[in-house]
């Protein structure tokens, strides 16, 4: 790889108890978290979901992207669980946090981005923790990946950021 070549990594990150199903690439992290890498083949599968959309589904909603990705990985989310889809590249990051509605717990009134793939069990909603760039002047703790990891309950402790606390090495 050349020094000027763009590197981009997609990961689905979650608390181990939040996800239903197994995946051969599931990797355990610190603090009871795990991740599954989202490969180019998985992203092609997700693109196929987008090509088969009904007219009444808004594909711009992060919940659709995350639930389609989960389906392609053969995973779902336990009621009340939360997962994050993060994208980290050399020059920018993005993250989406998906919340699965809990049993008997209503979706919060302020929830937006409620569009899930067909036959998804229950209601889920997403929030973009951050959607663009890694500004040189912003603290690392405000970068999209760290914001999403905080939403999952990751504690930074004495580490410089949440990703480091989990043992994740991301492109910088």
| Tens of pLDDT, residues 57-76 | 666 678 889 999 999 999 99
Range of the domain at 101: 8-166
pLDDT over threshold 50, residue 143: yes
Q: 134 Cβ partners below 8 Å, 6+ apart?
A: 91, 92, 93, 143, 144
pLDDT over threshold 60, residue 135: no
Please give the span between the terminal C-alpha atoms of the chain, in angstroms, as a whole number.
Answer: 15
Q: Report the distance separating Cα 33 and Cα 153, nearest Å.
A: 9
Query: According to the model, what pLDDT value does residue 171 have?
Result: 55
Our count of domains for the chain comes to 1
* 71 in a structural domain: yes
The two tokens of residue 109 are 């009134």
pLDDT over threshold 70, residue 122: yes
Q: 170 Cβ partners below 8 Å, 6+ apart?
A: 9, 88, 93, 145, 163
* 1 in a structural domain: no
Local structure of residue 5 (DSSP, 8 states): S
Q: What is the reported pTM?
A: 0.88
* 144 in a structural domain: yes
* 149 in a structural domain: yes
* 172 in a structural domain: no
pLDDT over threshold 70, residue 32: yes
CA atoms within 13 A on the CB side of 90: 7
* 13 in a structural domain: yes
Count of C-beta atoms within a 10 Å radius of residue 90: 16
């Amino acid at each position: 790889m050349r020094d000027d070549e763009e590197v981009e990594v997609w990961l689905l990150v979650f608390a181990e108890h939040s996800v239903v199903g197994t995946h051969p690439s599931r990797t355990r992290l610190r603090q009871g978290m795990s991740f599954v890498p989202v490969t180019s083949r998985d992203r092609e599968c997700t693109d196929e979901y987008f090509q088969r959309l009904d007219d009444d589904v808004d594909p711009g909603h992060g919940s659709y992207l995350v639930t389609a990705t989960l389906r392609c990985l053969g995973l779902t989310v336990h009621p009340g669980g939360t997962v994050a889809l993060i994208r980290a590249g050399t020059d920018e990051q993005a993250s989406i946090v998906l919340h699965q509605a809990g049993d008997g717990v209503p979706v919060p009134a302020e929830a937006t981005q409620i569009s899930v793939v067909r036959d998804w069990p229950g209601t889920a909603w997403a929030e973009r923790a951050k959607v663009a760039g890694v500004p040189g002047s912003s603290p690392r703790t405000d970068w999209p990946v760290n914001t999403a990891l905080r939403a999952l309950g990751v504690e930074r402790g004495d580490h410089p950021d949440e990703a480091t606390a989990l043992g994740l090495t991301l492109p910088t």
